[in-house]
Structure 1
Amino acid sequence: MFDISWSELLILGVVTLVFVGPKELPTLMRTLGKYAGVVRRHANEFKSQFDAAMREAELETMREEVEKMQTSINTEVMRATADVDEASKLARVELPSTANTIAAENSSDISKTLAPPMPAPPRGET
């Protein structure tokens, strides 16, 4: 990450030991560790807030897409309902006239099959 080699770390450790001293070195390391933990916690908190904001933005776009889909589905359902209503109105108008025509045709057919023609009475006899 920082491209620090082992030799550079060793030089940094020796310089720190000389300037701080062996007595204060544990206190310095403890303090550095404490601040590193604070920095790490802040970084994790920032990251979690950023991730939450990204999820919320994604949820908002998904919510908008679902609303668009719902609107289009509702439109299609309303259109289909109107088509069915219109077809049923046409069927109510056309069915009685068609039924009467079929009934008239069937009644003439039935009367021919049920009642055969009567034979003509003989001539001369009354």
Structure 2
Amino acid sequence: MLDLGIEKMALIGVVALIVIGPEKLPRVARTVGTLLGKAQRYVNDVKAEVNRSMELDELRKMKTTVEDAARDVEQNIHSGVSDLEKQFSTPAGETLSALAEPEPVMPVYKHPRKNWRLKQGATPQWYKSRNGVRTKALSGAARVARYRPHKVS
């Protein structure tokens, strides 16, 4: 990149002051500053995009290696199962299903139908009563009447 020291920056400033003039120099400096800022943002965006693409390529490579490993494990399992089936196959054509006991019948799941007429609060009633949580709402008039001091006659 450019090697700008303090002496070179001062020389550029003096030349700019002479060429542009003291009236227009602040406006030109602001414009140059905004352009340099835009250029830096553009360069940073390009760097970020390149980094993202490199990470994406690495992730793709990692995905393929994991998929290959999963396929190898699956093939090993299938070959092991087939070897076990060959080893435990019964002689004289008897099948394992004929020798095995019948499978127990599992109960079918039945969804507990929610009674939509009953309001179910998020906090249980026993918890509210134990901790002194108010369970009923009072209107404003009822609250005033409840806390109004009684007249003593």
Same fold, TM exceeding 0.5? yes
Partner residue of 2:114?
Answer: none
Counterpart CA distance in 2 for 1:37 and 1:4 is: 18
Displacement, 1:2?
2.3
Partner residue of 1:15?
Answer: 15
* Larger CA Rg, structure 1 vs 2: 1
Partner residue of 1:81?
Answer: 81
Unaligned stretches of 5+ in structure 1?
95-126
User: Residue 29 in 1 paired to residue 29 in 2?
Assistant: yes
State the TM-score, normalized to the length of structure 1: 0.68
Q: Which digits, 9 at most, give the CA deviation of each residue in 1:60-114, with x for residues without a partner? A: 101110111011111100111011101111xx339xxxxxxxxxxxxxxxxxxxx
Displacement, 1:48?
1.6
Q: Which digits, 9 at most, give the CA deviation of each residue in 1:10-35, with x for residues without a partner? A: 11111111101111111011100110
List aligned pairs for 1:1-126, cutoff 5 A: 1-89=1-89, 92-93=90-91
Letter in 2 for 1:69: A
Moved more, 2-11 or 22-31: 2-11
Counterpart CA distance in 1 for 2:22 and 2:70 is: 71
Counterpart CA distance in 2 for 1:27 and 1:10 is: 18
Partner residue of 2:111?
Answer: none
Letter in 1 for 2:52: A
Letter in 1 for 2:41: R
| 2:88 counterpart SS class | helix
Displacement, 1:5?
2.2
Q: Which has the higher helix share?
A: 1
Letter in 1 for 2:43: A
Structure ranking higher on relative contact order (CA contacts 8 Å, 6+ apart):
1
Aligned-residue sequence identity (percent) comes to: 26
State the TM-score, normalized to the length of structure 2: 0.56
What is the Cα-based RMSD across aligned positions, in Å? 1.5
